[in-house]
Structure 1
Amino acid sequence: MELVQADELQGDVIKGEPVRILNGNVIFRNGTTLIYCHRAFQFTNPTRMEMFGRVRIVEENKSTVESDSLFYDNNTKIARLRKNVVATDNKMSLKTNFLDYSMETGDSYYYNNGKMVDDKNTLTSISGFYNAGIKIITFKKEVLLQSENKRLTADSLKYNYQTKTLFFTGPTKIYQDDIIIHTTSGNYSTETENTRFEKRTTIEDSDYKLTGDTLYWDKSTETGKAFGNIQLTSKNEDITVDGQRGIYNRIQKSSKVWGDAVIKQLLDSDTVCIRADTLLSLQDSLNYKIVIAFKHATIFKPDLQGKCDSLVYISRDSLMKMFSDPVMWAQSSQMSGKFIQAHIVNNKLDYVDIKDNSYMISQDELNNFNQVKGKSVHAVFKEGKIEKMLVNGNAQSIYYIIDDSKKRKKNKGINYSLSSDMVLYYKKNKVKNISFLTKPEARFIPLHEIKEEDTRFKDFNWRIGEKPVK
């Protein structure tokens, strides 16, 4: 530490120790750093200094540290600044009452509370680390950030006051307008309010919650992008969407999730699951939800299962539309065709429309396959069980007649029917009556006359092995 100037210099002995006392406009130089004060005591054994009265350290880069007093140890090169300490670098100021400053490295450590203020943010913590050379402050313990539209709490974080960027190094909670963000790692620009979060992070508001291993949030577009084990939750509708990647737009309330995507909704005591390579969720002008499932779509609920290449669910009409080789199972019935549309009311199947090559197969208690086919089928359900079926266009049916008059039930034969249109009435999932809208071709085949080709239509395909189980 080199003395540059002082208005007055005198020698003295304090408690048996020689000391130089400097008064008035005192300046010391340490390399490229200048230290100013009103009064200084320079002890020779051991080599140490005490400074008082508007103490000021000025770095070569024009950053400064001021305090009421400074205690310097030449062996450790540490200056301990006490009371009303203010570190300033351009528009940033850091205030504390206890700061230890390294004359060798320019590193500063504060404890017993500190407060940083710049033109964008206010940050406080119990302790911290600061270096003007790298423009970064590390905040430790009870970290709090406050600005015009956000509030942040953390155990620790780093702040680059030049780029206005936060770096998270521990559990952190951010309150931004009406959004809450939970994270442990990542960075956040307080200028653009765009973020990149690593490890497990959640962004939520009153309606939705988005979680992922890596997550980006664009404040300007209100869009979140998540990667790795993502989950999007609609709180008001008890809906969750899981997958490997996803995009959520808060303004449009739309989402796209792909990679082993599955959407689950809790309805009463049942859970409905739709799976696909990609799931798209939209809201119409009346805020009703539309779900579109692309590629390898399946649906599962305890009393209804289905699969197809793509699927659309429209909540406003409670309609589910299945495209490209669709097949559906309800109770003991299998339904297939080129297109299937199902209407669900109060979590129960209400009706099913099957278009083109419509085919319905049901298995009875003797494992016989009862079959109905036609150009189109309209099946009506009650409490999840089939009640009536209208078959239009080249309507055909094969139904087994069972003798249940004895304890052990037996097959009696097959009823085969052909008509342009027919209506089948059911009771307890069994056909009780068939009405023909035009003159039918019908015949009964007794059990002993039944041939293999009589039991099934040529395009019979029992696809129970494809039935979703979850």
Structure 2
Amino acid sequence: MVFYTPVYEHKGNTLSADSGYIYEDEIKRQFFEAFGNVVITQPSGTVIYSDYLHYDAAAQHALLTGNVKMVDKGSTLTTNHLTYNMRSKVGTYTGGGRIISQGDTITSKNAYYFELTSDAYFRHKVVVRSQNVKVYTDTMRYNSQSKMTYFFGPTNIKPVSSQKGNNENLYTERGTYNTGTGIANFNKNNLYTEGSKFLKGDSLHYERAKGVGEAFRNVVFVDTTDKFYAFGGQGLYTQSEESIRMTDKPYIITVVKDDSSTSESDSTAAVAEPKVPEKEKTKKASEKKVKEVNVDTKEDKDNELPKVRTVRDSSAREAKVDSVYMTADTLFSRMILVKDYKPLALNLSRDGGKMEVDEDIDYGDENNELSDSTLAIAKDTLQTDIKNTVKSIVEKEIASSKPPIKKDTVKTTVPAKSKAVPGAPNRIGDRQHIGNTLKADSVLRQKAVVPIANQADTLINNALRIAQRPDSVISKTDSIPKAQSDTAKTRIVRAYYNVRLFKSDLQAVADSVYYGMQDSMFRFMGRPMIWSQGSQISADTIFMQIVNQQMDNALLKDNAFMVNAVLDSVKFNQLKGRKITAFFKNNSIDQLFVDGNAENLVFSVNDETKIISDMFHDRGGRIKVKMENKKLIDYKTIHKVDQKVYPFKLVTQENEILPGFIWRPQDRPTSKEDLLNRKRELPKAVDAKAGENTDEKQKATESKESIEEAPKKEELKKEVNKNQEEESKTELREEK
């Protein structure tokens, strides 16, 4: 029998429609079918609307079709096909639908809604639209009370077009995001991008309100615009400052050109060794030129540094490149306005310029510091979670249910007037609205681009290739246009505490380093020391400038000292002054100027016998060295010149070492691995806390330690001295 405007009650639930009828199957199970303006009202307050209803009374299972709308607390579900179990309070749609909750709109092809826990699981072409972001994924869980989303596959989170920073994106394959607070926590294949900047880590924490992203373990940061990239165990990115702070064994890599004639260019020449006539004992002159001599750039094979490879594509293979690694306890880099950058006014000149500079140098520092391959895994995880949730809900429902109701508890009443459902919508207008939204959602899902698996690795690798491509790096002359706009920005880099640098032909240590991309200037401060081939370089402050990806000039300011070992560290060639200025060509020394109490101490070695014959000591106001193809072609000493030659028998411990001498080969980084796993050890006589305040007393202590730290070489020294004494006696006899 067909009933018109019937109202049915079953276990506290009220079902009504324009028309309907009840029937039983062969095993006496009762069913109710309703047509037109179907309304289901539950004791919990949940209301469901549809055009058609098929209800299984025994299973309390409802099948609703046609403009279905379910309202539960603050959530509204709309679809064209919904199955709903009134016992477990679980609803499912498989033909497309949407859920709106507290400002969040979620659409997907399939979904499972759990009324008791306010959880919803979404599958296939899932799109979330909130006030601030849009989410694209294939598998997701959402809680309408906490506004928390859970991701189980490749996911992209993008800001809406009206939001600031709409060129950013969050990618993950497993994690959570709260649409209310904007806080994300990812733990699988995670990547944060903002324009040309990329931040990747095994774990990623992001707070949208603060604009802060923090990555942990295997962290990589890349800026393709500035060709800057860094690695570390922990990285903190601040969006407002465009800054990155890396800790836990951090290091940055800079790709530079290597156009030198040899595979390992001598970036810093050894101490100049002018030839002196054998019989000349003492000579003073205002200028002195010497014959061309070869500069020894050979090393023992045991001391050779391993080649460092960088990731680069085939387009850059033809260019000779080298990589510079730099590490410290903390690496910090940020973007600043070009007008706020303070370039150094070193006023270096390749003709030497003034002999002495009394003005202080400005350091230039600032005032303060989802694919099909992953869907199967996600599907299994989702189904397991759903089964566990349903099982828990059913068990709770059975445990708390009342005694069984008799078979005839399905009441059929035909009132004179149909009961009006409170808050019932205008079904004609509402039906049209639901249809329009479902069509719009269908188009949205078709256009939605769900990310594929391993997209994070693909993007970060592409970014690294761009950053490491030397032919795409802008030269210094091009990077500083004549008219800078007020909004133009440049990058600065700060490294502090235990700074160590490694290049195949150059290594360095310091307490802190400051680098500005605007003028490509490195500032090494706090007991800096540089090694190149067999030379060791030290000063209170060291400046190095890169032009067109090549070494261009360097300034050693205050207490400048260069040391070169002779005969396996038996003796040391030494060059010192108040400052040393060096100019490079093809990464090799072109000119060298030593100013302010300049001194040069050189031991002459017989190439055949490998025996030291004499020692040359040169002093003056300035020493000038000219190199070409790694050969000395000009050597001059000017202003108050004092030059002496000592036969080896007259060389003593007092005159073989210049004041301020330091020899610390143990501090030299030997490889990329050594760079990260070992730090410079301060001398025992120096307090670590006062490491930056090195006075003359400390330097004298270091000199003493550096001389005494090689007891194993004493026997070799004695043997060499004995041979040289015999040779000196022979020379005296010949002279007589």
TM-score tier by shorter-chain length is 0.7 to 0.9
Q: What is the CA-CA distance between 1:347 and the residue it aligns to?
A: 2.2
Partner SS for 1:465: helix
Alignment correspondent of 2:306: none
Moved more, 322-331 or 71-80: 71-80
Contact 1:303 1:384 in 2 (8 A): no
Moved over 6 A (4+): 364-368
- Among residues 516, 521, 528, which one is paired with 1:319 in the alignment? 521
Contact 1:300 1:306 in 2 (8 A): yes
Partners of 2:636 and 2:559 in 1: CA distance:
21
Contact 2:256 2:550 in 1 (8 A): no
Alignment correspondent of 2:185: 196
Q: Does 1:262 align with 2:278?
A: no
- Give, as a single letter, the amino acid of the residue that structure 2 aligns with 1:50: F
1:136-172 CA distance string (max 9 Å, x none): 2111122122456643221211222344332222221
Alignment correspondent of 1:400: 603
- Give, as a single letter, the amino acid of the residue that structure 2 aligns with 1:33: N
Q: Does 1:380 align with 2:362?
A: no
Contact 1:130 1:138 in 2 (8 A): yes
- Give, as a single letter, the amino acid of the residue that structure 2 aligns with 1:70: L
Q: What is the CA-CA distance between 1:276 and the residue it aligns to?
A: 0.8
Partners of 2:558 and 2:632 in 1: CA distance:
23
State how many pairs are aligned: 448
Partner SS for 1:288: strand
| Equivalence map 1:87-106=2 (5 Å) | 87-106=70-89
| Equivalence map 1:324-335=2 (5 Å) | 324-335=526-537
Q: Does 1:248 align with 2:237?
A: yes
- Among residues 104, 117, 125, which one is paired with 2:100 in the alignment? 117
Q: What is the CA-CA distance between 1:70 and the residue it aligns to?
A: 2.7
- Give, as a single letter, the amino acid of the residue that structure 2 aligns with 1:193: G
Q: What is the CA-CA distance between 1:444 and the residue it aligns to?
A: 1.5
| Equivalence map 1:140-219=2 (5 Å) | 140-147=123-130, 150-176=133-159, 177-219=166-208
Partners of 1:74 and 1:52 in 2: CA distance:
13
Q: Does 1:52 align with 2:34?
A: yes
Partners of 2:256 and 2:60 in 1: CA distance:
69
- Give, as a single letter, the amino acid of the residue that structure 1 aligns with 2:20: R
Alignment correspondent of 2:665: 464
Partners of 2:154 and 2:650 in 1: CA distance:
77
- Give, as a single letter, the amino acid of the residue that structure 1 aligns with 2:335: Q
Contact 1:397 1:417 in 2 (8 A): yes
Partner SS for 2:666: helix
- Give, as a single letter, the amino acid of the residue that structure 2 aligns with 1:398: L
Structure with the larger helix share: 2
Partners of 2:46 and 2:188 in 1: CA distance:
36
Partners of 1:39 and 1:74 in 2: CA distance:
14
Indicate the structure whose relative CO is greater, using CA pairs within 8 Å and at least 6 residues apart.
2
Alignment correspondent of 1:336: 538
Q: What is the CA-CA distance between 1:22 and the residue it aligns to?
A: 4.4
Alignment correspondent of 1:137: 120
Q: What is the CA-CA distance between 1:82 and the residue it aligns to?
A: 2.8
TM value normalised by structure 1: 0.86
Alignment correspondent of 2:5: 24
- Among residues 607, 615, 620, which one is paired with 1:414 in the alignment? 615
Change (3 A) 1:106 1:461: same
Contact 2:32 2:57 in 1 (8 A): no
Partners of 2:592 and 2:127 in 1: CA distance:
66
- Give, as a single letter, the amino acid of the residue that structure 2 aligns with 1:156: T
Alignment correspondent of 1:16: none
1:11-65 CA distance string (max 9 Å, x none): xxxxxxxxxx5443222222x4332233131316331313212332222232222
- Give, as a single letter, the amino acid of the residue that structure 2 aligns with 1:246: G
Partners of 1:301 and 1:167 in 2: CA distance:
45
Alignment correspondent of 1:236: 225
1:409-454 CA distance string (max 9 Å, x none): 7754321123344333334445554322322322113456555665
Q: Does 1:271 align with 2:323?
A: yes
- Give, as a single letter, the amino acid of the residue that structure 2 aligns with 1:166: T
| Equivalence map 1:421-460=2 (5 Å) | 421-429=622-630, 431-447=632-648, 450=651, 455-457=656-658, 459-460=660-661
Partner SS for 2:527: coil
- Give, as a single letter, the amino acid of the residue that structure 1 aligns with 2:519: D
Q: What is the CA-CA distance between 1:90 and the residue it aligns to?
A: 4.3
Question: How well do the aligned residues superpose, as a CA RMSD in angstroms?
Answer: 2.7
Contact 1:239 1:266 in 2 (8 A): no
Alignment correspondent of 1:71: 54
Q: Does 1:42 align with 2:245?
A: no
Contact 2:124 2:139 in 1 (8 A): yes
Partners of 1:388 and 1:363 in 2: CA distance:
21
Partners of 2:597 and 2:136 in 1: CA distance:
70
Contact 2:47 2:71 in 1 (8 A): yes
Gaps of 5+ in 2: 160-165, 258-320, 339-488, 673-736
| Equivalence map 1:281-300=2 (5 Å) | 281-286=333-338, 287-300=489-502
Partners of 2:586 and 2:612 in 1: CA distance:
28
Q: What is the CA-CA distance between 1:358 and the residue it aligns to?
A: 1.6
- Give, as a single letter, the amino acid of the residue that structure 2 aligns with 1:426: M
1:202-248 CA distance string (max 9 Å, x none): 11122101112332323333222222322211011222111222221
Contact 2:226 2:491 in 1 (8 A): no
Partners of 2:615 and 2:60 in 1: CA distance:
103
Change (3 A) 1:213 1:60: farther
Partners of 2:606 and 2:631 in 1: CA distance:
13
Gaps of 5+ in 1: 1-9, 11-20
Partners of 1:111 and 1:46 in 2: CA distance:
30
Partners of 1:163 and 1:439 in 2: CA distance:
82
Q: What is the CA-CA distance between 1:318 and the residue it aligns to?
A: 1.5
Change (3 A) 1:119 1:103: closer
- Give, as a single letter, the amino acid of the residue that structure 2 aligns with 1:161: S
Change (3 A) 1:428 1:334: farther
Moved more, 302-311 or 320-329: 302-311
1:375-433 CA distance string (max 9 Å, x none): 322222222222332223332211233556x7x87754321123344333334445554
Contact 1:253 1:282 in 2 (8 A): yes
Q: Does 1:108 align with 2:310?
A: no
Partner SS for 1:290: strand
Moved more, 258-267 or 75-84: 75-84
Partners of 1:237 and 1:364 in 2: CA distance:
42
Partners of 1:48 and 1:462 in 2: CA distance:
97
Q: Does 1:33 align with 2:1?
A: no
Alignment correspondent of 1:370: 573
Change (3 A) 1:267 1:431: closer
Contact 1:26 1:39 in 2 (8 A): no
